[in-house]
Structure 1
Amino acid sequence: MERLGFVYSPYDNALFVQRTSRGSILLLLYVDDMIITGDDYEGITKLQLYLSQQFEMKDLGRLSYFLGLEVASDSSGYYLSQAKYATDLLSRAGLTDNKTATAPIENNAKFDEKDGTPLPNPTLYRQLVGSLVYLTVTRPDIAYAVHIVSQFMTAPRTTHFAAVLRILRYIKGTLFHGLHFSADSSLELTAYSDADWAGDPLDHRSTTGYCFFLGKSLISWRSKKQTTIARSSTEAEYRALADTTSELLWLRWLLEDMGVRHNGGTVIHCDNRSAIQIAHNDVFHELTKHIEIDCHFIRSHVLHGDVRLVPISSIDQTADVFTKAHPPERFKDLLSKLQLTSSISP
């Protein structure tokens, strides 16, 4: 690929990029598959011809199905879903009735490693949770719930399995939900960062949640328990900001490889003003000594102009959906901010 003029991206092992006088070509290489896209159509044709002479390969045409992801497109943009994958998952779980759930997890749900009785054979639980993790590729609405049930893979119990079934019943009622990437979207990158302080009832660790939008299209998100116990809500929020900043830098570099440049600082919306003040204050004290490395990391990128921290009200904090369970109405409101859509036809 390098002999053909492609440049290997250091930010994604699968991505190769070639700039030509007619445009650009992006090549995503996997073990047995590849995706070729770009605006240099003549160059793409020549590349396909060359590769077919070097390897036994088959052109499957326009992308429609790839590794369990269904891809549809029209004049409004691209739509990604995993409806078939989700249907197969429901069949494996044996959910043949019509019962559905309005949310993937109950509001204020708390789970303990000793709740219920041990499952005699945890294999199905592990298989279902593993599949649910992959389903979050296009289903950010189940990210927090899957993050919860993933914590009990070692010794799952009946209450944990019931939580998995609730996620599956929610999926059953929202089978064709997925992500829409609008053709009219701008290429401005923005982020939301949030944390649920000491939300875990067992170890009192906090949960980090963040999400990134390219224009109005959701492109990255995360729900993960923090590795250490935060001594205040500000500390928890600041650790979440550090994780968000790391993802932000990687996305900026990756987008730059794809020809999308960001001249100004990327906005991160945060609903904790104390955390924002710490990022702009170079005086350390008792409150910040436990997170000094994160302070230096975020502040350096704020000063460099890569990051711009903007306060936001908690009610408008989109990343809140990745940090805790919510009542159905609040959950529905947060999903509307994620631009989650449902396909027109199965």
Structure 2
Amino acid sequence: MGDKEADEAEHRVYIGSFTSSGGRGITTAALDPETGALTELSTTDALADPSYLVEGVHIGVVYAVSERGEGAVGAFIADGRGLRPLGAPVPVGGAGPTHLAEAWPWLLTAHYTSGGVGAVAITEDGSLAGPAQVLRHHGSGPDPERQEGPHAHQVLHDPSGRWVLSVDLGADSVRVCALDDDTGTLRPHSETALTPGNGPRHLVFHPDEEVAYVVNELRPLLTVCRWDAEAGRLEPVGEVPLVAEGGSEASSGAARAYPSAAAVALDGRFLWVAVRGADVLATLSLADGSDKPRLTGAVDCGGHWPRDLAIDLYRNRLYAANERSGDVTWFDVDPETGQPRRAGSLPVPAATCVLIQCCDRDMRGARPGTSGAGPTHA
């Protein structure tokens, strides 16, 4: 591979989409490091409904979850201007998986419909092998339509790499487990109950590794938590609104707000949250302390229904996957105020997530969980 080809390969973005809603599967795009612009290179529909993607420790390997009734995960490897399958998809042992994370030598999955988390083995070449190890969740919440049972929406490692956290929208809780590296067994360690009816969906850590932010879907609130890595425990310490007063429910024609995903600046000064319905990116300042986020503004997401939010850590740009308008919009960020400014967009039907390839070889094998380690994914 020549120098030019190698440089281009280091600036790739992978975009997942719902093939059942007109999406083309996984789109590979080139990222211009100077402008942040995306240019489509290729697509592959080798896996149905690849709604979430992560980068593996193997160079060029990308994993995708198939959000179907009988969920599966697939491995892909970079090949020229796109991705090609690396082995056959592997069942996850759960229904409607929405999220995944690598914890070498295991790929972890969160199962929304059936309520639980699982682990699939990663082989030496980066491909996947079953059967999956599964831990079922239990519990429910006060919303009879969305919380009739457990609905695990996210799974991730904590920054120390010692614990696996799973965020359960249906049970209004975050579970902490220990992962057996030899067997893939997830052993429950602790569970943190959050406000009933909030519907927690997504969690990100501050770079100080002592504070975590939980994005709630059913109420537009951010739950601020203290994280004790030594004890493996999460402690809620407060809640912060993600929309201006009066913007959480449909009134005067305003749409109800459904927050989806968050990203933290590498220097820890700002936090951004994508809010569907309201269709905005909310900016929160962390100048008062990592445990004291303060809502400072919101800008239009550039489309409709921002399902995912990714950050280019090295250049402080944001990328929103707008599912219902079918596009990925990118934003430059004001370094003083943290406010995003729309810079462009790429049409991607039924876009669900954005994965910006990690260019730092030393960071590639780091445990995901903080905004400063691993692939730059929300």
Same fold, TM-score > 0.5, yes or no: no
Q: Which has the larger radius of gyration?
A: 1
TM-score, normalised with respect to structure 1: 0.28
Structure with the larger RCO, 1 or 2 (CA within 8 Å, 6+ apart):
1
- Report the structure, 1 or 2, having the larger strand content: 2
TM-score, normalised with respect to structure 2: 0.26
